[in-house]
Amino acid sequence: MPTVSSTSRRVRLKEASLMRECATQRTDSTHVLAAVRDLTRLELITEAVRAVLEEVAGLAGHLLDELVDEDWARRYDRPVRLGTNPTKPKTRTLTTGNDAVRLLEHLYRHGADCTCGPSLALS
C-alpha cells in the first residue's frame, strides 16, 4: 500500500478547509478536551445502547420485535445531548442501565449470533 507523505495530507486537508494555513491541529486542545468531557456517563451509555440497537436492527431486526416499544423508540431514536443539567438524571441512568441489561439478556436468550457483527482479523 503506498504511503502518503505528511505534506500531501496537509495539502488535502487545507483544500477541504479542514486545516488552516500555518495552524497546528492538536487533539489535546482545550476545546477538544472540553467537548469530550461534556459527554456525561448517561450520554455515553445511552449512545452505546443506541449503537447496539442500530447494529442489531440492521443485521437481524426481527430480534428486536418483542423488545422495542414506543418508550424505547423515544429514548433511542436519535443521538442524545442532555446538556449540563439533565432532568431526572438518576432515573434516566437507571432506566438506560436496565434497558441495556434487558437488551443483552434478550439477545442472549434468543440466540443472537455473536459472529454476525463486525469481525476483527487477528494475526
pLDDT digits (tens, 9 = 90+) for 14-64: 666 665 665 565 656 666 666 555 567 788 888 899 999 998 888 888 888
Would you state the pLDDT for residue 97? Answer: 92
Between 115 and 32, where is the model more confident? 32
Residue 100 grid cell: 441495556
* pLDDT tens-digit series, residues 51-98: 999 988 888 888 888 888 898 888 888 877 766 666 777 888 899 999
How many Cα atoms sit within 13 Å of 79 on the Cβ side? 3
Would you state the pLDDT for residue 100? Answer: 93
Would you state the pLDDT for residue 35? Answer: 58
Residue 122: what residue type?
A: L
The CA dihedral of 27, 38, 51, 13, to the nearest 10 degrees, is -30
How much is the pTM? 0.58
What sections of 39-113 are H helices per DSSP? 41-60, 70-76, 89-109
Would you state the pLDDT for residue 99? Answer: 94
